[in-house]
Amino acid sequence: MGSGGAAPPFHPLMASGTLRHPMSLRIRNRNAFGVFLAVLLGGLLLPENASAEGKKVAIKGKIQGGESLINPVWAEAADAKNHRYTFRARSMSVGKQQRPTAYLPRELCLAVLSKEGPGAGRGTPFMVGVSGGRTSPVTLVIPDAQAVQFINHDPFAHKLFDTGKGGFGPEEMKAGGSRSWKAPNAGVYEIRDQLAPSVRTWVVVEPRVVQTAYPQINGEYVIRDLEPGTYDLQGFFMGKPVGKALSIEVKSGQGEQEIREPLVVAEPEKSREESK
């Protein structure tokens, strides 16, 4: 066709200026559709909740019997032989039968224990604050080789030490200062203060611990960052396991999982006898 002839009619296959064979477009469309179908079927054929596989799970539940746990510092103060008297008058609104129970958010440690061997250690120290004649938390459960850092929030000094053979001797920790310590072996270590008798902390070194948390005042708890698997959930109070361990199964694909069975940490009558 000469240059002065009429222009060829528009054809959709010439949209880019180059004539393409209809079969080549079919092949390209078929390939694109194949990729789309593979992605779609791949998502359908993957295991249930595979997109969430590998993600860590949080469990939530409730403890039972926490109102029966008594802090030993308060129990000792109530004994007249220790001469820890107070001039504060009893409140008329508080009955004689009521006793100061443990403050669960820092005294009752809930530990998730592996059933298959040692748990994973932490890369950062476990922080314990010292303030107002107490520590926060009071009982902690840590894996082997886990460092603990005590931080003094009081405007005066403390001299913390362990009562056994943990290698944590009494050294002055000034106001705003801190001390780090690492237990030499698995076991229970009691930390006291030469300058403040009410300061008592229990450090439980448990190789199987995976994660820990502390319940709220109402007994509800949430423990985060758990891998799917089967564990024992155990409460620790004053450095000792309390109640019976609860076997739990953490399932994959759930951002938050409810543990319906309560974790019993004390039987009322039994705990009262043990706290005397």
Taking only the tens place, the pLDDT of each residue in 203-240 is: 999 999 999 999 999 999 999 999 999 999 999 999 99
pLDDT at 158: 97
pLDDT at 102: 87
Architecture of the domain defined by 57-119+208-276: Sandwich (2.60)
- In the chain, % helix, strand, coil (3-state, to 5) comes to 20, 35, 45
Question: Considering the entire predicted model, what is its pTM?
Answer: 0.73
pLDDT at 215: 97
Q: Does the domain formed by 121-202 have CATH 2.60.40.420?
A: yes
The mean of the pLDDT values for the chain is 80
Note the pLDDT tens digit of each residue in 63-84.
Answer: 999 999 988 776 666 666 765 5
* Mean pLDDT in consecutive groups of 10 residues from the start of the chain, 276 residues: 48 44 49 47 42 76 94 67 56 57 93 86 88 94 94 97 96 97 96 94 96 96 96 97 96 92 83 46
Annotated domain spans of the chain: 20-53, 57-119+208-276, 121-202
Identical fold, 57-119+208-276 and 121-202: yes
pLDDT at 54: 57
